[in-house]
Amino acid sequence: MAAYKRVLLKLSGEALMGDDSYGINRQTIERMVAEVSEVSASGVELAVVIGGGNIFRGIAPGAAGMDRATADYMGMMATVMNALALQDAFRRAGVEARVQSALNIEQVVEPYIRPKAIRYLEEGKIVIFAAGTGNPFFTTDTAAALRGSEIGAEVVLKATKVDGIYTADPNKDPTATRYETISFNEAISKNLEVMDATAFALCRDQKLPIRVFSINKPGALNRAVAGENEGTLVHM
């Protein structure tokens, strides 16, 4: 039985790449959709905030020296592209999903409207939040913390390529150990990179726990939603 009724899944754009250098790997997105669909079918209300790094990475050399605000708006558009791809993958899997964007692109996706997003969740639909917060200088981590707080999520599930938070970089230090749980204050004092500072502070202030886990680990999402010891739980 799921430990949470409503969750916010933060999915990086890089997670969609699989082994590719950029773009969307079809097998990877289909596997993720299958896992998310299984969680949704169990009765958990699930929203997704998706990044755009996989698409933006493909044009990164051309963005060198670009004005930061302009580059950030380009990144927001990349998240919309990823959200549409994810919605289409859900459609092909027979799952209803709605995309809401912080930028107004009404010919393509719905604008973000909080009451409508909550209604969709209550109806059992998956809601994909695109375009970050709609503002430059804020990351999709901050969007995840903000949207999670707005919709009343019980936890932010941050899906990464690493199965939790470690005492050091496990790829560089073989002696690094994984934290099963850690407090917000301890993570700050140890300068552990959980989310960017704005997002992390918002989750702490709203008492919104974060669970960091590997999206590449089979069954990890199910175990995280069930409240099992998967990845690392950051809490008050």
Mean pLDDT in order along the chain per 10 residues (236 residues): 88 78 80 93 96 68 75 90 94 96 95 98 98 94 97 95 87 89 91 86 95 91 92 93
Question: Which residues are within 8 A (CB) of 35 and not within 5 positions of it... i.e. 6 or more apart?
Answer: 219, 221, 222
CA pair distance 85, 102, nearest whole angstrom: 17
Condensed to tens digits (0 to 9), the pLDDT of residues 32-84 reads 999 999 999 999 999 999 988 777 655 555 566 788 888 889 889 999 999 99
Say whether 54 counts as a known binding-site residue: no
Is 10 known as a binding-site position? yes
Cα-atom radius of gyration of the chain, to the nearest Å? 17
pLDDT of residue 60: 57
196 is in an annotated binding site: no
User: Distance between the two ends of the chain, CA-based, in angstroms?
Assistant: 24
Residue 11 assigned as binding residue:
yes
- Is residue 133 annotated as involved in ligand binding? yes
178 in a known ligand binding site: no
115 known member of a binding site: no
pLDDT value, residue 19: 73
90 is in an annotated binding site: no
What is the pLDDT at residue 98? 98
Instruction: CATH number for 6-140+148-175+187-193+217-231: choose from 3.40.1160.10, 2.40.70.10, 3.30.1330.10, 3.40.640.10.
Output: 3.40.1160.10
210: Cα separation from own chain's centroid: 11
Residue 72 assigned to a binding site: yes
By CB atoms closer than 10 A (0-12, 13-18, 19+), residue 62 is exposed
pLDDT at 64: 67
DSSP label of 122: H
Q: Is 135 annotated as a binding residue?
A: yes
Q: Binding site annotation covers 173?
A: no
